[in-house]
Structure 1
């Protein structure tokens, strides 16, 4: 136990260094639609259990950019959406660590700090705006505007699924010319996604419009996850709407593991997802 405090301090230092060394893009130039609080930096909670950096009280949504080396850059990009039950954002476990992995594969990654706590509708505004900003900057960043996807975990998977199925719904008033750009992702990767089965009798959540020409999706879940049913329901609905979908459902893994070693699910989903993105994104 005597090493716990120094280790936590080290983790906080590493996360702070990441944030300082990477470009930050703030989503809203003026007033933030639906936000009543003043703009300020996110608040880091005191809870660092599991060696996880948790952010909350987000009023000035932003993206942290992870650029790949030019030698491996493949022209595709993903917006990474950390989970946290719409209460917090697991920023390193399901954000920066995932973005670093993606950048090593050649993808330009953007870690989204969407609004929490308890702001599900506003989180969708932030996701929609983020997608439009990335697409508007595609040419200057060497990104193919037709190869921009989302990768979400848990509640972040919910945000990613919502923008993938509701991209043509005018959810917030237009702020500037950026809002005239499509926010439809070109592909979606949903890892232990949650809130997909909130319809009657745990059927598909009504706001997920799977007949609205969603992009191809990759889903991963486990049988021992309380939210595991969500992935099954969404996969079945996508299949019924003839949307290309690939589902991997493992017996064990639980929930909230990111891609850290030591959990069988955490070690295998990146392998499956990398292969799927090669086939559905890079070779398309």
Structure 2
């Protein structure tokens, strides 16, 4: 088994190859709901993508959810797949830094990646804004599992990865997988097989919750039932998927206690879990630690569990 240091070197090489290889990757953008988006109102599509000097690119007002499929090269495909949920506070999506860049790094390691452009909550386009993103992730899990054979994926090795608010979405799918919000006549399992949560929002409780993500998902006046339901540390049980968490101790946007509380709940319910906390590094790891450092920790954990 590779050491974390050796894996970090591999990751650094993978990220260094992006410019040279991106045109050769098997990449497709697919509509998430070919037969119509559920929980939707008739409304103009106002989606826009804007460049951003800090994080490369941002998507706003996403109302037509899509999956961007990055198939692992056939000669190195491991059968593992990861559905990537970019962050952005349920207000925007960091589609490159926390999306396509990560997907390409996974590809170089033989892992198929699916970047989810999930709907951003908005009463203008949704009947119930609180469940829109979760519906989209459930639909993505369902689609990937049902098309696993076609895409050379093991249907029992489909994980989710989420950054910040995308981490909240991923954790919600992992803790509420028995609550079905989409049409699922085949009764396909909506449970992720593992979770990778990167500086995640976990709780919506006042003590540690991220107010911005909470307001964007639930509105200005969420009730106690909603706050309880979407505080994922309160819903861990023995069926919650194995989880890897990474966070910065001095994160001033999403307190590190989000990861602490979730890890503690995982341990209490005997769920396989690991956590890594960096002493330094702002929210989103924009300057530190390096991508190959934190991503290497994720890959090392996946290897330990036989997922890579």
TM over 0.5: yes
1:253 corresponding residue in structure 2? 281
- Per-residue deviation at 1:42? 3.5
Please tell me whether the aligned partners of residues 88 and 117 of structure 1 are also in contact (alpha carbons under 8 angstroms): no
- Per-residue deviation at 1:142? 1.1
Cα RMSD of the aligned pairs, angstroms, is 2.3
- Select the residue among 190, 200, 206 that pairs with 1:193: 200
Q: Answer yes or no: is 1:62 the counterpart of 2:90.
A: no
1:6 corresponding residue in structure 2? none
SS of the aligned residue for 1:55 comes to strand
Please tell me whether the aligned partners of residues 170 and 197 of structure 2 are also in contact (alpha carbons under 8 angstroms): yes
After superposition, the Cα gap between the structure-2 partners of 1:21 and 1:239, relative to the gap in structure 1 and judged at 3 Å, is: closer
Within 5 Å, which residues of 2 pair with 1:28-107?
Answer: 28-38=33-43, 40=45, 42-45=47-50, 48-107=52-111
1:136 corresponding residue in structure 2? 146
- Which stretch shows the higher mean deviation, 222-231 or 136-145? 222-231
Q: Answer yes or no: is 1:218 the counterpart of 2:223.
A: no
Within 5 Å, which residues of 2 pair with 1:131-170?
Answer: 131-170=141-180
Distance in 1, matches of 2:196 and 2:46, equals 28
Distance in 1, matches of 2:179 and 2:190, equals 10
- Select the residue among 267, 286, 294 that pairs with 1:269: 294
Please tell me whether the aligned partners of residues 26 and 72 of structure 2 are also in contact (alpha carbons under 8 angstroms): no
Within 5 Å, which residues of 2 pair with 1:171-182?
Answer: 171-172=181-182, 174=183, 177=185, 180-182=187-189
2:190 corresponding residue in structure 1? 183
Q: What CA deviation, in whole Å up to 9, does each residue of 1:15-65 have, x standing for no partner?
A: xx97x97211211123311221447483113x5131421001111111101
1:232 corresponding residue in structure 2? 260
2:228 corresponding residue in structure 1? 206
Greater RCO structure (CA 8 Å; 6+ sep): 2
Q: Kindly tell me the number of residue pairs found equivalent between the two proteins.
A: 258
- Select the residue among 114, 119, 128 that pairs with 1:115: 119
Q: Give the unaligned 5+ runs of structure 2.
A: 1-18, 123-128, 210-226
Distance in 2, matches of 1:168 and 1:105, equals 31
After superposition, the Cα gap between the structure-2 partners of 1:211 and 1:70, relative to the gap in structure 1 and judged at 3 Å, is: same
1:278 corresponding residue in structure 2? 303
Q: Give the unaligned 5+ runs of structure 1.
A: 1-13
Please tell me whether the aligned partners of residues 152 and 190 of structure 1 are also in contact (alpha carbons under 8 angstroms): yes
